[in-house]
Structure 1
Amino acid sequence: MTASGPVSTALDRFRSSGSSWLRLPFFSGDAADAVCARVDRRIAEGSSVLPSPDTVFRALTLTPLEAVKAVILGQDPYPTPGDANGLAFSYVGPRRLPASLKVILAELPGAPTSGDLTPWARRGVLLLNSALTVEAGKSGAHLRYGWSALTDQAVKAVSDRSEPAVFLLWGAQARSRAALIDRARCGVVETGHPSPLNRHRDFSGTRPFDEANAWLVSRGATPVDWSLG
């Protein structure tokens, strides 16, 4: 399909990259084209879509299928312009860190102050949102656009590999995908969502990064370096 908008153009570029993720049905069929065309229509109608088109597929670009050691699933990008960079929970905005990300980083030694999670992605942590796009000021605006098929297929593809990988599932939406994971091959670390609005407060103190690394080591794999420079 010929690109007719910025997100469709980004899809064409991603397809030309030869990424191992292109074997997913989402990309080999018409699903990706349909979702990107729908997002491009919103842009043509005047909506401000985030993140920038060149970072929409960044999670898959930085973390090839064969390199995945850990998976963290988010909902959708931050809806404030300049905050998101295509990776779940990753924050590059000019203001103080979002409350959920502060809770996440507090589980790491030294509680890093950088919210850019790009180093994790480069070390094999797939930081994938359920929707790769959002509209400015409208959290969840594209959750029903069809992106979720990509997330489901990516989870299944990682689970089906022979190499060990661990899934960090935070909150009900992420945990709903646990059924797609083969626990005989993969580790699963489930907790509540790190949002301060989570009334159960069942994330803080769970040490999910330590638990994920302990599982990897138990399978003879190198643990993830969770540091942020």
Structure 2
Amino acid sequence: MLIKCAVGWEEFFDNEIKKPYFKQLLKNIDREYKSKICYPKKTDIFRLFTLIEPKNIKVVIIGQDPYHGPSQANGLAFSVNNGIKNPPSLVNIFHELKKDLEIDHYDSGNLDHWSKNGVFLYNTIGSVVTKTPLSHKNIGWTTFSQNLIIYLNEIRDDIIYVLWGNYAKQYSKYIFNKDNIIKGAHPSPFSYSLFKDQQFFLKINYLLLKNKKKIIDWKM
């Protein structure tokens, strides 16, 4: 599999691609995509890495694995392409964005713009079998994600990490600067009662300003 990435990711991928686990991960992906219906499109698995350079990351929002319905996943956590109905978790995220910052994003669930403005929307499991959440949990993604979070922490100490849900919170142990962690419940309808009214977007912008960074343009 040819992995395309923006300038600045070469060091990370050059190191990972030499490791046995990563070679096996790519083989596992090839096998799964040949034998099953998987999401996102194979060409979109690493698409996030083409949209933003490491030096431009301000916020990392950690998701679990891609949407597992047809045409939903597009390589960015929580995002869908234009013209696709917003999944419930994304609708709930937009509810909070509206309450926090008076920004209405409901017309489009495409979050490419967020990435280009410094938000790294990362699923720690980068692929999934249709209608089967966590189906690719054990094919190598966990090691890749651990190494990625550690790498980002080694090259940057000013990135804000947003951990929604217990799965994402597991990655807090790889984040060196605990003051830059924002934790909360997952935006899924099952836990929305705990997710809502936590002012996540206000907290993100507050920490950015505290770290002398420009706030994110969360508009479309």
Q: Do these two structures clear the TM 0.5 threshold for a shared fold by scoring above it?
A: yes
What is residue 192 of structure 1 aligned with on the other side? 185
How far residue 95 of structure 1 moved from its aligned partner, in angstroms, is 5.0
1:67 and 1:18, CA in 2 relative to 1: closer, same or farther beyond 3 A?
A: closer
Higher helix share: 2
What is residue 207 of structure 1 aligned with on the other side? 199
Q: Which amino acid aligns with 1:188?
A: I
What are structure 1's unaligned runs of at least 5 residues? Answer: 1-7
Tell me which moved more, 202-211 or 153-162.
153-162
Runs of 4+ in 1 over 4 A off after TM superposition: none
What is residue 31 of structure 1 aligned with on the other side? 21
Deviations 1:152-203 (A, max 9, x none): 122222222345210111000111111111226x61111111111127x221
Normalization by structure 1: what TM-score?
Answer: 0.85
Q: Secondary structure at the match of 2:132?
A: coil
What is residue 85 of structure 2 aligned with on the other side? 96
1:59 partnered with 2:52:
no
Distance in 1 between residues matched to 2:77 and 2:69, nearest whole Å: 14
Deviations 1:24-66 (A, max 9, x none): 5433423222112112112333x11211111110112212222
What is residue 4 of structure 1 aligned with on the other side? none
Distance in 2 between residues matched to 1:123 and 1:28, nearest whole Å: 31
What are structure 2's unaligned runs of at least 5 residues? Answer: none
Distance in 2 between residues matched to 1:195 and 1:34, nearest whole Å: 32
What is residue 110 of structure 1 aligned with on the other side? 103
Distance in 1 between residues matched to 2:78 and 2:153, nearest whole Å: 22
How far residue 145 of structure 1 moved from its aligned partner, in angstroms, is 1.0
RMSD value, Cα: 2.0
Q: Which amino acid aligns with 2:122?
A: L
Q: Which amino acid aligns with 2:103?
A: G
Distance in 2 between residues matched to 1:111 and 1:145, nearest whole Å: 38
1:192 and 1:50, CA in 2 relative to 1: closer, same or farther beyond 3 A?
A: same
1:81 and 1:22, CA in 2 relative to 1: closer, same or farther beyond 3 A?
A: farther
Alignment length (residue pairs): 214
What is residue 176 of structure 1 aligned with on the other side? 170
Normalization by structure 2: what TM-score?
Answer: 0.89
8 A contact 1:83–1:94 mirrored in 2: no
What is residue 71 of structure 1 aligned with on the other side? 60
What is residue 144 of structure 1 aligned with on the other side? 138
Higher RCO, 1 vs 2 (CA within 8 Å, ≥6 residues apart): 2
